[in-house]
Structure 1
C-alpha cells in the first residue's frame, strides 16, 4: 500500500516524532499540556465549589451532590472521546489517515446527539434526578437550580471533551490545552461575577460554567483545523456499525471508570447524608480536591497514551514498555509530594472553603486518609490507560471499575455502618489499596504477553 502522506507534510513530521523521538522527553512534552488541560477541567468544578462555599453550607452541599451529574456527562463524553481517540492514534500509527478522519467526525456527531438527549431528558426529570443522586430536602431546591443549567450545556461540554481527546491522541495536546485553559480561567472570572455581582446564587455558578465551556468549544473546534490535525467535517460523518464497535471497544473502560465514579459519588452522598449536610459538604470538597490532585497523574497518563497507541500500532513494544514505566514513576513522585501537602496542611486547606467547624473537621480527616494511599493511584490509572489504548478492553474495564466502583461502593455500604464517620472517611483509602493490587496483577500479565524489545528509544 502506498503511503498517501507527503514526506515533508506536517502529518509526516508528527508521525516521525511519535515513533522516533526519545520516549521520556516526548511523554514529558505531551504530558505538560495534558496536565494543564486536566487541571483546568477540574478547575471548573473546583471554582464552582470554592465560590459557592462562600454562600452557605447548604449551597456547598448542593453543588457537591450534583457532581454525580457532571460525572455522568463526563463519563459519556470520555466514552466517545477516548474510544474514538484510541482508534485514531492506532490508525495514524498504521498510516491510515482517511479512516482516522472518518472516526473523528463520526464520533463528534454521536456525541452531540447524545448530549442533546441528556439535556432534554435531564431537565424533564431534574427533581427526580437530584433526589436520586443524594439530595436531602434542604439541598434539593439549590441542586435543581445548579443542575438544570449544567444539563443545558451538556452537548457543548461533551463535544469539547471529545475534541480535546482527539487532539491529545494525535500528539497535539498543546492545541487542546489552549481551549481548555481559556475556558478554565474565564470560569474563575465569571463565577464571582454571576454569583455575587448579579446575585444569581448557585445558578450563577452553573451559567458561568456553561458559558466558559462554549468558549472552549469554539477554540477547540478551530484547533482541529490547525497543525496537521484532523478537522471535524460534515462530509466525514459516516455512522456505521464498525465505527460504533471501535468506539465501544475503546471507550467502554472510560465509561465504566467514569460511570462507577458517578455511582460511587451517589453512594458517598447517601452515606454522608446520614451524618448531616455538613458531612456531605465536607466530603464533596475533599472529592473535588482529590480529583484536582489526580488530574496531574491523569495528565501523565494522557501524555503516555498517544505514544502507547502509536507504538502499539507500529509494533514498537519496547518503546511502549519504556513509556509506561516512566509515566508511572513520574506520577508516583508527584503523588508522594501531593500527599505530604494534604497531610500537613489539611485543616488550612479546608478552611479556605468553609468556616464551619464540622465541615473542616470531617473534611480534614477525610483528606488525610485519602492522602495516605494516594501514592498507589498512579499505577492504577496508568494500567487502565495502557490496557485501554492497546484494546485490552476487559482488563481495562476491570481496573476502571475497581477503584471507583467494584471496591469503593461496597466499602461505602459497610464501613460507615460499622465504624461511623471514621469508616466514611477511610472508605476511599481501602478502595485504593484493593484497586492497586488488581491493577498490578493485570498489567503484569499484559507485559508478559507482548514481546520484549531491547534498545527502545
Structure 2
C-alpha cells in the first residue's frame, strides 16, 4: 500500500491521469494518420479517382512497414526497459543498439524487395490495369522511404523507453508538417502528380529519421557504442519475441487489406461501379476511419499504465474504474464519429476531390453500411489493451485478432459470393458487432473475478 500511496498512478483522479497519459498518445497516433490523409487529400485534388485507388493499392506496404517497426521497436523498448529494471545496463544498451540497426536494415530489405518485384506486387495487391501505372509511380518512390519510415517509427518506441516521449512526438510531427508543406508544392507547383506526393512523403520521413538518429546518439540513460550496433542473435531473438504480438496484429490488418482490395477489384468489375471506383472510395474511407481509431488507440494507451500499476497493487476497484472511464471517453468519440459518417458522408468524401455520381453513390453507401457500428467500435481495441495491461496478453491477442482475422476476413470472402460487392459492405458491421459482443462477454467475466 505504501507503493500505491507514493505513486500518483495509485492516488490521482482517474480522469486527470487518463488525460495526462492519453493526450500525447493521441497526438502521436494522429500524426501517423495525417501522413496518409494528406497524400490522399492532394492526390484526390490533382489526379482524381485513379490516384486515390493507387494509394489504396499501395496501402498494405505502409501497414507492413508499421508491422516491422512494432516488431523491432516495441520489442527493443520492452527488452531495454526490462534489462534496466534488472540493473543490467550493459545488456540494455545492446538491445537499444541492435534494435536501431535492425530497424533500418529490415527497411532496406523491404525497399529492395518491393523495387525488384514492383509490378507483380501491385497486381497481387489488387491493382486493375487503369490504376497500375499510378500505383507503380507512387510505390516506386515511397519504397525509397521505407528504411527511414521504419527506423523513425520504431525508434519512437525506443526513445519513449529512454524517457523522452515528447521528443518522439516532435520528430514525428516535424516529418508530417514537412510532408504537408511539400505536397502542394510538388503536386501543383511543379506539376509532379503522384510522383510529387510520394517524394514529399519520403522527404518528411527522412527528416523524421534524422531527428530520431540524432537523439539515439545521445540517449538519456545509456550511451550506445559501435560494439552495441553489431546484431547478435541472443539480443535479436529476445527483441523479436517481445514484439511479435504487436507485429502480428498489423500483419493481420495487411492480410485483410490485400484481400479487401482484390475483392473490391473483382466484384467491382461485376458491378455498375467498375474496378477503380470501389478501390478509390474505400481507400479514402479507410484513412478517414484511421483518424477516429487514432483517438481510440490513444485513449487505450493512456489507460494501460494506470490499469497495470493498480492491478499490480491489487487495487481492483481502481482498475475497474480506469477501464470504465476510458470506455466512456471511447464511446463518446465513437458516437461522434458515427454521426459524422452517417450524416455527412458525401461532404467528407468531397474533401478528397471530385468524382462521378457512381463514385459518390458507392462511397456514401459504403460509409453508411460498412461503418454502421462505429459507435461501438472502441470496445474491442480498448478491451484487448486492457487485458494486456493486467498481464493477460493471450486474451489481449485473441481479442485483437477477433475482428480482423476471425470475423472480417472470412466474411469478406463469403458474403460477396451471395451479395456481390454489397457483401463486402455488410462484412464490416457484422464483424464489428460480433467482435464487440465477444469483448463485452470477456470483460464482464474478468470484472466479476476482480475482487
Asked if TM exceeds 0.5, the reply is yes
| Residues in 2 aligned to 1:389 and 1:236: alpha-carbon distance in whole angstroms | 30
98-107 vs 367-376, greater mean Cα deviation: 98-107
In 2, the alpha carbon distance for the partners of 1:91 and 1:23 equals 30
Q: Deviations over 1:304-331 (max 9, x none)?
A: 344456667x656646554444332222
Any conservation in 2 of the 1:34–1:300 contact (CA below 8 Å)?
yes
1:123 aligns with 2:119: no
CA deviation map 1:332-358 (0-9, x unaligned): 211111211221111111111132122
CA distance in structure 1 between the aligned counterparts of 2:11 and 2:448, rounded to whole angstroms: 24
8 A contact 2:43–2:194 mirrored in 1: yes
How do residues 33-182 of structure 1 correspond to structure 2 at under 5 angstroms? 33-54=24-45, 55-88=47-80, 99-169=91-161, 172-182=164-174
Q: Contact 2:162 / 2:219 at 8 angstroms: preserved in 1? A: no
The 1:267/1:187 distance shift into structure 2, 3 A limit, reads same
In the TM superposition, residue 101 of structure 1 has moved relative to its aligned partner by 4.0
The count of residues paired between Structure 1 and Structure 2 equals: 436
Would you say the 8 A contact 2:371–2:428 is kept in 1?
no
Say yes or no: does 1:209 pair with 2:201: yes
The alpha-carbon distance between structure 1 residues 439 and 112, as it changes in their structure 2 partners (threshold 3 A), is: farther
Whole-angstrom CA distance in 1 between matches of 2:66 and 2:39: 16
Partner of 1:258: 250
Which residue does the alignment assign to 1:289? 288
Report the Cα offset of residue 164 of structure 1.
Answer: 1.6
Distance 2:32 2:346 in 1: 25
- Indicate yes or no: 2:401 matched with 1:401: yes
The alpha-carbon distance between structure 1 residues 17 and 238, as it changes in their structure 2 partners (threshold 3 A), is: farther
Shift of 1:42: 0.8
**Contact 1:51–1:191 at 8 Å: present in 2 too?**
yes
Deviation, structure 1 residue 232: 5.5
Shift in Å, 1:436: 2.0
User: Displacement of 1:240 after TM fit?
Assistant: 4.7
1:434 aligns with 434
TM-score by length of 1: 0.85
Match of 1:362 in 2: 362
Provide the C-alpha distance between the structure 1 equivalents of 2:253 and 2:404, rounded to a whole number of angstroms: 5
2-structure distance, mates of 1:84, 1:441: 34
Structure 2, unaligned runs of 5 or more:
1-5, 269-274
User: Residue 271 of structure 2 corresponds to which residue in structure 1?
Assistant: none
d(CA) in 2 for partners of 1:439, 1:91: 33
CA contact (8 A) 2:175 2:205 kept: yes
Distance 1:235 1:391, change over 3 A: farther
Q: Residue deviations 1:83-125, cap 9 Å, x none? A: 3334455566667666544433322222222111111111111
Alignment of structure 1 residues 386-397 onto 2, 5 Å = 386-388=386-388, 392-397=392-397
State the SS of the aligned residue for 2:129.
coil
Q: Unpaired segments of 5 or more residues in structure 1?
A: 1-14, 453-457
- Match in the other structure for 1:8: none
1:332-343 equivalences under 5 Å are 332-343=331-342
Structure 2 vs 1, CA of residues 87 and 20 (structure 1 numbering), >3 Å: closer, same or farther? Answer: farther
Look up the SS of the partner of 2:130 in the other structure: coil
CA distance in 1, matches of 2:323, 2:83: 20
Any conservation in 1 of the 2:156–2:212 contact (CA below 8 Å)? yes
RMSD: 2.9
Rounded Cα–Cα distance in structure 2 between residues aligned with 1:220 and 1:243: 21
CA distance in 1, matches of 2:224, 2:375: 39
Distance (Å, rounded) in 2 between the aligned partners of 1:161 and 1:218: 12
